[in-house]
Structure 1
Amino acid sequence: MSTLRFSSLRPLILDRIGSSACHPRFLNFSRWIRTSSHKSSPLAFAFDIDGVLIRGPDALPSAKRALTLLDGHNRFGVKIPYILLTNGGGVGEHERCRKLTKLLDVNIEPSQYIQAHTVLKSVVQKYADEPVLVLGGIGDTVRKVAEGYGFKKAYTTLDVLAWDPAVWPLHKLTDAELARTKTVDFSKTPIKAIFVFHDPRNWALDIQVACDVIMSSGIIGGPYQSPSNYGSSTGVDLVFCNPDLIWRSDFDRPRLGQGAFRDAFQAVFKSLTGTTYPHVQYGKPTKPTYDFAANVLKDRLVEIHNGQITNAPAPHVYMVGDNPESDIAGANAAGWNSVLVRTGVYDPSQGPPTHIPTREVEDVEEAVRWAIDNEFEKMGKL
């Protein structure tokens, strides 16, 4: 990640969730749990989604049982707060929560849901009135997401192709695609940034247009600049929201993710120019994403307590994920407890995980039961 040109992209970092279990207010936990009007939980969860709660279009059976435990149906009768933290995306947060609510049979609020590009809400002010290119997703869906965040001039590569079909003659727009495009003269519209919101559907088109934008300092079809100017203040910002090389769907083997598209773009760009292009990387396991998640979890705790801050210390956070490279690496770096499940990307038959979790379990239900027992045992409740 570039640390010079892109420092203004990083979200504001507030205090990290987490405090010591030996806080004085926890010295007599049994008395505290009886007298607290909110029955505050000593732990909270952050869950990955694909490979942890769902697999392809279906919910994993263990997921529904795990979420039931968090709703207070555990032997301690305590509701346990949680957020969902995924490198997925491509649709608006409200739409995704609606689908997850139906799939998991539990109410999922947008205030507890973070997808790969949600963090872009923290940088929208810089680009609100600037032309930007948004990549990924189906049709113009990510454009609508970007506009919902506050990007007023968000364009897609299909808009570029509608402007001049010769940009990429190997793809002819369908009537449905054409109907979703905006009429723009890109020869007079300098693109200031490229945001890869979600996994692109047409890698060839998107790589071609991204190279055109960057190599001509934002004017598609304009003269190419010298590679020595790419890092100048007039350059185009490039932001990827998901570093995952692979992810788990309902196919028997993991599928290529946005991280693979990033690597493909950089390989082509280097072949053209002799250098890779500096970029900002969001998504798990990056620090900005985990800092953003910590703040969302903090807000969630205030929300479930009706805007009141309880006297109890902040709960210990448990990240439950299936990908050692993103879920476990990020949680470990954030100082969270990390729990690795075997229902997704991670396959124990291929060797030990590249990043060692606090605990390795079979599925999310086992993860939740272990974490609850682990925390309440510390409090002398078992």
Structure 2
Amino acid sequence: MPGLHIANGAEPTDSLPAFVFDIDGVFIRGEKLIPGARETIRLLQRRKDPFIFLTNGGGHTEQSRVEKLGQRLGLTLDVEQFVQSHTPYYDLVPEYGDKTVLVLGAQGDQIRDLAHKYGFKKVLTSSDIMAERPLIHPFPEMTKDHHEKYGHLQIITDLLLSRGGFIGTKSPKNGDTSLPNNGYQQDDQPKLFFCNPDFQWSTEYPDPRLAQGAALAALKGLWDEITGGKGDLLYSIIGKPTEPTYVYAEKVLQEYGKKLHPSLEIGTVYMIGDNPRSDIAGANDFESRCGYKWKSVLVETGIYVPGSVPAYQPDHTAKDVKEAVQWVLRKEKLANGAE
């Protein structure tokens, strides 16, 4: 479905493509800007093509993250274009906003402040639990900073084995073969939510580094050992490549597209990313709720090793984000596509 370039700010009469971009390994690698990143965004802004950023990163508000990315690119970006791994947790506020929640994943009050800004009113961190029960950590002689960084797995398993989420208790239902999941996580324990399934991510280091998905893998291994393999770890997860994340992202993209061009219907959405297991897999499997056609483009500036066989095949592979966008614009036969 071809689209029309907006030469003089006139409203288009046909659909044109939209873009969903990963960030790490596509626009930046560690603290360094990838060549062609700034020119690519400037081109799309000039053309008024709809695009959003969809990252498995997080730990800060969308506003602070979009400002930082904008500073790196030397461009002004809209917070409405930015979806982080935990952005869909806004949808949990109606159910959990007034309940006590334990948030993990960052040091000090950073993660607490983020949860408060999302709308969660009663927020605990691992530091709060350590302060109340300092012996909960297996190595109490370690420093407070060490506790904050490495006490999460101990606290999580304690809570999942507890009675009703009370630290220091053990559920009598654990191991009860007459109950679902052999009684594990069947006694009003806290529900477990994860964002960012990525096992690895791309930094300036030559090899990929472990990401939050590695923490989930570690917890699964511990849980299997603790339960003797008799209890599945029950949890919910968002972030690429999960379907709820793409549903949320598509809704954001649709709203942003309408903001740019009220009379325009998006035709094809191109997911451009560096990670076959998240960016590419998610786009390939996603069934649009808006009638869009999703395609995937893999770039060679991040996780993916050029020349290797990706775990999930993209619709196209490009050297970098600039080449990827140029390929899309040529493919869609839009004006200035060779720019």
TM-score (norm 1): 0.78
Cα distance change on mapping 1:170 and 1:342 into 2, 3 Å = farther
What corresponds to 1:325 in structure 2?
A: 277
Please tell me whether the aligned partners of residues 284 and 294 of structure 2 are also in contact (alpha carbons under 8 angstroms).
yes
C-alpha separation in 1, matches of 2:7 and 2:133:
69
Deviation at 1:129, TM superposition (A): 1.1
Q: Are 2:306 and 1:348 aligned? A: yes
Please tell me whether the aligned partners of residues 272 and 299 of structure 2 are also in contact (alpha carbons under 8 angstroms).
yes
Please tell me whether the aligned partners of residues 43 and 315 of structure 1 are also in contact (alpha carbons under 8 angstroms).
yes
C-alpha separation in 1, matches of 2:306 and 2:269:
25
What corresponds to 1:304 in structure 2?
A: 260
Aligned letter for 2:169? G
CA RMSD of aligned residues (A): 2.3
What corresponds to 2:295 in structure 1?
A: 337
What corresponds to 1:215 in structure 2?
A: 161
C-alpha separation in 1, matches of 2:271 and 2:184:
38
Q: Which runs of 5+ in 2 are unaligned?
A: 176-181, 287-292
C-alpha separation in 2, matches of 1:112 and 1:142:
22
SS at match of 1:69: helix
C-alpha separation in 2, matches of 1:34 and 1:88:
35
1:113-262 equivalence runs, <5 A: 113-168=82-137, 169-173=140-144, 202=149, 204-216=150-162, 217-225=164-172, 226-227=174-175, 228-232=182-186, 234-262=188-216
1:270-312 CA distances to partner (integer Å, 9 max, x unpaired)?
Answer: 111123311111000000000000000011112224xxx20x4
Deviation at 1:98, TM superposition (A): 1.1
For these two proteins, the number of residue pairs brought into alignment is 318
What corresponds to 2:179 in structure 1?
A: none
Q: Percent identity?
A: 39
Please tell me whether the aligned partners of residues 162 and 173 of structure 1 are also in contact (alpha carbons under 8 angstroms).
no
Q: Which runs of 5+ in 1 are unaligned?
A: 1-20, 73-77, 179-200
C-alpha separation in 1, matches of 2:23 and 2:271:
11
What corresponds to 1:284 in structure 2?
A: 240
Please tell me whether the aligned partners of residues 160 and 185 of structure 2 are also in contact (alpha carbons under 8 angstroms).
no
Aligned letter for 1:220? I
SS at match of 1:235: coil
Give structure 1 regions of 4+ aligned residues with deviation exceeding 4 angstroms: 32-36
What corresponds to 2:332 in structure 1?
A: 375
Deviation at 1:34, TM superposition (A): 7.1
Deviation at 1:231, TM superposition (A): 4.1
C-alpha separation in 2, matches of 1:138 and 1:59:
26
C-alpha separation in 2, matches of 1:364 and 1:171:
45
Please tell me whether the aligned partners of residues 165 and 172 of structure 1 are also in contact (alpha carbons under 8 angstroms).
no
Deviation at 1:359, TM superposition (A): 0.4
Please tell me whether the aligned partners of residues 48 and 84 of structure 1 are also in contact (alpha carbons under 8 angstroms).
yes
TM-score (norm 2): 0.88
Deviation at 1:69, TM superposition (A): 1.5
SS at match of 1:80: coil
1:248-280 CA distances to partner (integer Å, 9 max, x unpaired)?
Answer: 011110000111000101111111112331111
Moved more, 135-144 or 367-376: 135-144
What corresponds to 1:197 in structure 2?
A: none
Please tell me whether the aligned partners of residues 321 and 327 of structure 1 are also in contact (alpha carbons under 8 angstroms).
yes
Please point out which of 104, 108, 133 is paired with 2:77. Answer: 108
C-alpha separation in 2, matches of 1:138 and 1:114:
22
Aligned letter for 1:375? E
Cα distance change on mapping 1:363 and 1:170 into 2, 3 Å = farther
SS at match of 1:376: coil
Please tell me whether the aligned partners of residues 18 and 266 of structure 2 are also in contact (alpha carbons under 8 angstroms).
no
